[in-house]
Structure 1
Amino acid sequence: MTLVPPVSTRVMNLATLLTQAARRDPDGVALVMGDTRWRWAEFEAGADALAAALQGMGLQKGDRVMVQSQNCLEMMQAMFAVWRAGGVWVPANFRQTPDEVVYLTQASGARGLICNAAFPDHAAACQAGCPELRWTLSIGAADFGPSLQAVTNDHMGQRPQVAAVDRDDACWFFFTSGTTGRPKASVLTHGQMAFVVTNYLADLMPGLTPADASLVVAPLSHGAGVHQLTQVARGVKTVLLPSEKFDVETVWQLVRDWRISTMFTVPTILKLLVEHPSAAAADTASLRYVIYAGAPMYREDQKRALALLGPVLVQYFGLGEVTGNITVLPAWAHEADDDAARIGTCGYARTGIEVQVQDDQGREVAPGETGEICVIGPAVFAGYHDNPKANAESFRDGWFRTGDLGHMDAEGYLYITGRQSDMFISGGSNVYPREIEEKILTHPAISEVAVLGMPDPLWGEVGWAVCVPRDGAAVSADELGAFLDGKLSRYKLPRRFVLWDALPKSAYGKITKTMIREELLRREGGP
């Protein structure tokens, strides 16, 4: 049998999503930040002008463009302009240090830099340490380069040559958070991202229309940026917080004023929104989809969110390498009643995605058995940029290995046990911290917790539980130990409880065990 290669692998340039939205509703509100409004036609014209400017500055197809900025309207404009001109979008989390952004710029081989005027030290460090950089634009007036706004105005009315792209052409370098080493650039492609947008609309936010409105409460550099790309595909207006400061009262005010229907967040931020005093009086009637990801949500936090918001929670599980696209737990599958709920699940496989739990040899394990969560499908990235060692370690027989441990029930619902790096062995038995953390959080005085395996001369490793009491609550280590007695097997019980005012979190608002371990060693003098 002769295999016939595809006649064409060309796909739509992702920037076309903006063009389509602007054609359908040119006068509709597209972007909002503070008192500023951009209509779809204005958004489209600005992206066109900036793309023409970038091409005039020498941007070639495949050139990477590093972006260092907090959320702003110009950041959204630049994303579509870079794609339209044929470039690759390489956003950094704006909370990273100049040295960290220099590393990302070098690792990506970026030829251009778009940097907000609020970060002159980052721009200077990149210009000094990255000889491959050919040009720099500033968002706002700055000494380190011409302003993006001025360049856009100079080219207003000009149409760029929209880059023709193939399915496997890179469009986004999505840097991993670097919690297990230096960040790696996951290569996302135009064809892959077109599938992801379609899948988000099918599985996470079905039925979006221009009558909807989306509120951005997380950095556009990562998951929130993917979420907003989906909003653009349906002509949904996007509302940004008026400043980089996260203020819960402002969030609830914007939800009321703009009749916000969709939000993307992480469990720690959702917990803040739900437990803040202003939440009790919040007008949440417009909310349709409150999507959380980035980490599993503890059951007690989930129940409080459902009690306040109603049946609007949507959970997805994924990694940057799969653009969040592994499993979904839709709103109808969220149950407040413990007897009716599948407690601890992150849902079932997304449309078009296959998920397996595999053993160390790559064999699928039986339902209920713990193994590594592996995935195949059109959402899986093209590999890590310039990192063959990481690629070899991350793929096996075509399956992407997530590094997460879990098990699947007979109906195909997945349950995450934790990262492979989180599991520890005590007295020869595997211990998964998440199970212990869920039990500790049922204590009414505890707000947050993290359990880590720490070296022990007798047992090899034992659990230490770092606990954060609720405001005004008092609890002792002895009380917590007594509370858990009988709720867990003896070998799973933490040998030490530590009480802190707060847990350290990453730039994305996630609780990371690496940061907690470092802080634990510094504060407590752990082994």
Structure 2
Amino acid sequence: MPGDGPMPDVPAHDDPAMNTMFAGFLAQARLRPSAEAVVLGAARIDYARLRTRGLAIAQAVAALPPPGAAARTVRPARLRSLKVVALILDNRLEFVEAFIGTVMAGAVVLVIDPKLTPEQGQGLLDSLRPDLLIHDPAVAPWSGSHDAGAAAGGVLVVTGGADCAYRRWRDRATARLGPGDGPARIDPSTPFLIATTSGTSSAPKAFIRDHASWAESFRNSIAEFGVMPGERVLALGPLVHGLSLYATMEALAAGATAVLMQRFDAVRAAEVASAERADVMVGVPTMFDTLAQGLEAAGSRIASVRAIVSAGAKLPPAMAAILRAALPRAEIQEYYGASELSFVTLARSSRGDPPESVGRAFHGVSLRIVDPDGRPLSAGEVGRIDVRSRMVSSGYILGGEDGSGFLALDGGWYTVGDLGRLDDRGRLYILGRAGGMIITGGLNVYPGEVEAAVLSVPGIAEAFVFGDPDPHWGQQVAVVLRGEGEAAADLHVLRAALDGRLARHKQPRLLWRVGDWPLATSGKIARGRVLDMLGAGKLGAPQRLHDSMTPGAARERA
């Protein structure tokens, strides 16, 4: 099975043209022209037609006027001479073909999440002044405003109808395409993608990637995940989130079929996985949780799935067990990474990686744990996680001025400030973000360690741990969780279950229970919004350690 043993290093290709992010797709289009490239409900497109549309869009983007004076004035230096195309769309084939066509033109795609606030979205447009805006006002009404249009050199509306402005533009370009037309010759260091990440704050930061970073990522991830030509990869989330966008483009680079959904729904996801005979499913734990619960309740199994690829947070052991029952052939592959860093580690169920760990270094990645002065630490010691690989981004192009988040270090090392430790077998354990450490009674507590322990308690599905201000302790360990059973409903029962897993000072002293989380577009818990809800009293009063209303409290004090 791919990734079970040592793999040779995968060097950058000798031919610079093969270090563009679309090189694999074009190679597969030549080898497999009639194979399905992308499936989204009834809409299907094969490799040959997607290649033709991509090349036509590339020619049309290349024919756009050069960036105007307003764009050159406000854009960061490395974007001033490049064309920028902004996409504000939900999941649809037009997103995929416009993305591929733009990058084949040597231009940059600015992916804007339709769920950003109008102020955030308009701020991106004003700061980057795209040469072309392709948008659907039905999913982001603000994108059709006068201000949005004024910030772009041109605007194309996507409605899905045959007469929509985008389709007319694309079809005219396709009619003009000649047999010898091909993609632009692109230096692999050329940027091709700008996307946003909020990280641990609510303010989005825009990071930028070049062709070489994704070409390298494709080589390494296809080797690790073993995606093969002809396989079917079901990406459960929205294309505006990097997990599904990357999974789609990785599938095209490998000669597989990318299967998408208009929007995530657990029942529909199970139907699509069965009908399309998905080999690989890619998503975040919240998606897999609702999918697994639905399959368990229905007594259904999906025999075709050989791998589950999960990222964004740890899969609770109980959830993993349900997934294994519902998807009996599937290996669970969990990777830890960051939008800015790409892949960092991979945990595999077939390898027996501990459920609390995020696995070993991903193919092509070196890891180290360092102290605050940058000195390497030994196995078992807690420090900052540094990463060295050829897959990292080029950093922030907007935001990040405060020095938080992604940092480039000496010697080719990078970090986003996460804290962790390595065991003596090279497996990584995430303990939280450097600025998120809880100090209670003068003792350090890492939220990630507490979350991992809480998730190991039967009945707990998801947990969010943070430090709550306290006049006596400085901070108290607080948890918001979702789950069933006594431990999910009774703080003292939860603490008793954590004995032997966590020292007493690391155990939660405050507990809120939720039925559902506010979620980000990615499907991950929107932690900032949870804290806002707590501050506004929308989750009610917490259980506190000194409360004596529950049977568990009496048992703990007995």
TM-score normalised by length of structure 1: 0.88
Shift of 1:24: 1.3
Q: 1:35 pairs with 20, 31, 42, which one?
A: 42
The count of aligned residue pairs is: 507
**Is residue 153 from structure 1 mapped to residue 168 from structure 2 by the alignment?**
no
2:331 match = 312
CA distance in 1: counterparts of 2:341 and 2:111, whole angstroms: 17
**Is residue 137 from structure 1 mapped to residue 150 from structure 2 by the alignment?**
no
The one-character-per-residue Cα deviations of 1:278-316 (angstroms, maximum 9, x if unpaired) are 665434221122101112223332333233324411111
CA distance in 1: counterparts of 2:452 and 2:348, whole angstroms: 21
**Is residue 354 from structure 1 mapped to residue 366 from structure 2 by the alignment?**
yes
Matches within 5 A, 1:86-97: 86-97=106-117
2:296–2:322 Cα contact (<8 Å) kept:
no
CA distance in 1: counterparts of 2:158 and 2:433, whole angstroms: 38
CA distance in 1: counterparts of 2:396 and 2:459, whole angstroms: 43
2:473 match = 459
1:232 match = 252
1:266–1:509 Cα contact (<8 Å) kept:
yes
Shift of 1:431: 0.8
CA distance in 2: counterparts of 1:110 and 1:482, whole angstroms: 56
**Is residue 171 from structure 1 mapped to residue 192 from structure 2 by the alignment?**
yes
- Amino acid of the residue matched to residue 274 of structure 1? A
TM-score normalised by length of structure 2: 0.84
CA distance in 1: counterparts of 2:36 and 2:227, whole angstroms: 19
Which ranges of structure 1 fall in alignment gaps of 5 or more residues?
1-6, 336-340
3-state DSSP class of the match of 1:506?
coil
Instruction: Flag the 1:312–1:481 CA change in 2: closer, same or farther, 3 A.
Output: closer
2:482–2:513 Cα contact (<8 Å) kept:
yes
Shift of 1:138: 1.6
- Amino acid of the residue matched to residue 460 of structure 1? G
- Amino acid of the residue matched to residue 81 of structure 1? G
1:420 match = 434
**Is residue 113 from structure 1 mapped to residue 133 from structure 2 by the alignment?**
yes
CA distance in 1: counterparts of 2:379 and 2:222, whole angstroms: 29
2:547 match = none
- Amino acid of the residue matched to residue 91 of structure 2? N
1:214 match = 233
Which deviates more from structure 2 when the two are superposed, residues 432-441 or residues 93-102?
432-441
CA distance in 1: counterparts of 2:362 and 2:431, whole angstroms: 19
The one-character-per-residue Cα deviations of 1:407-466 (angstroms, maximum 9, x if unpaired) are 001121111112223320001111122333334344444333222111111111011222
3-state DSSP class of the match of 1:313?
strand
Which deviates more from structure 2 when the two are superposed, residues 56-65 or residues 372-381?
56-65
1:395 match = 408
Instruction: Flag the 1:264–1:469 CA change in 2: closer, same or farther, 3 A.
Output: closer
Shift of 1:47: 1.4
Q: 1:198 pairs with 212, 219, 222, which one?
A: 219
Instruction: Flag the 1:474–1:314 CA change in 2: closer, same or farther, 3 A.
Output: closer
3-state DSSP class of the match of 2:397?
coil
- Amino acid of the residue matched to residue 63 of structure 2? G
2:482 match = 468
CA distance in 1: counterparts of 2:208 and 2:148, whole angstroms: 23
CA distance in 2: counterparts of 1:28 and 1:432, whole angstroms: 48
Instruction: Flag the 1:456–1:359 CA change in 2: closer, same or farther, 3 A.
Output: same
**Is residue 364 from structure 1 mapped to residue 361 from structure 2 by the alignment?**
no
- Amino acid of the residue matched to residue 248 of structure 2? Q
Instruction: Flag the 1:485–1:230 CA change in 2: closer, same or farther, 3 A.
Output: closer
1:168–1:382 Cα contact (<8 Å) kept:
no
- Amino acid of the residue matched to residue 216 of structure 2? F
2:437–2:447 Cα contact (<8 Å) kept:
yes
Instruction: Flag the 1:47–1:486 CA change in 2: closer, same or farther, 3 A.
Output: closer
CA distance in 2: counterparts of 1:209 and 1:86, whole angstroms: 26
3-state DSSP class of the match of 1:438?
helix
1:99 match = 119
CA distance in 1: counterparts of 2:43 and 2:227, whole angstroms: 28
**Is residue 263 from structure 1 mapped to residue 281 from structure 2 by the alignment?**
yes
Q: 1:75 pairs with 87, 90, 95, which one?
A: 95
Instruction: Flag the 1:346–1:443 CA change in 2: closer, same or farther, 3 A.
Output: closer
Matches within 5 A, 1:432-443: 432-443=446-457
Q: 2:420 pairs with 406, 412, 431, which one?
A: 406
1:378 match = 390
Shift of 1:131: 4.6
CA distance in 1: counterparts of 2:246 and 2:220, whole angstroms: 12
**Is residue 25 from structure 1 mapped to residue 18 from structure 2 by the alignment?**
no
2:553 match = none
2:74 match = none
- Amino acid of the residue matched to residue 153 of structure 1? D
CA distance in 2: counterparts of 1:13 and 1:396, whole angstroms: 26
1:384–1:391 Cα contact (<8 Å) kept:
no
Instruction: Flag the 1:174–1:486 CA change in 2: closer, same or farther, 3 A.
Output: same
1:285 match = 303
Instruction: Flag the 1:45–1:11 CA change in 2: closer, same or farther, 3 A.
Output: closer
3-state DSSP class of the match of 2:436?
coil
CA distance in 1: counterparts of 2:87 and 2:337, whole angstroms: 24
- Amino acid of the residue matched to residue 121 of structure 1? P
CA distance in 1: counterparts of 2:331 and 2:447, whole angstroms: 28
- Amino acid of the residue matched to residue 17 of structure 1? G
Instruction: Flag the 1:134–1:178 CA change in 2: closer, same or farther, 3 A.
Output: farther
CA distance in 1: counterparts of 2:271 and 2:400, whole angstroms: 48
CA distance in 1: counterparts of 2:494 and 2:140, whole angstroms: 48
Q: 1:499 pairs with 513, 518, 524, which one?
A: 513
Instruction: Flag the 1:329–1:475 CA change in 2: closer, same or farther, 3 A.
Output: closer
Shift of 1:395: 2.1
1:490 match = 504
2:21 match = 14
1:315–1:346 Cα contact (<8 Å) kept:
yes
**Is residue 303 from structure 1 mapped to residue 321 from structure 2 by the alignment?**
yes
CA distance in 2: counterparts of 1:41 and 1:107, whole angstroms: 36
1:187 match = 208
CA distance in 2: counterparts of 1:161 and 1:122, whole angstroms: 35
Amino-acid identity (%): 27
Shift of 1:505: 2.1
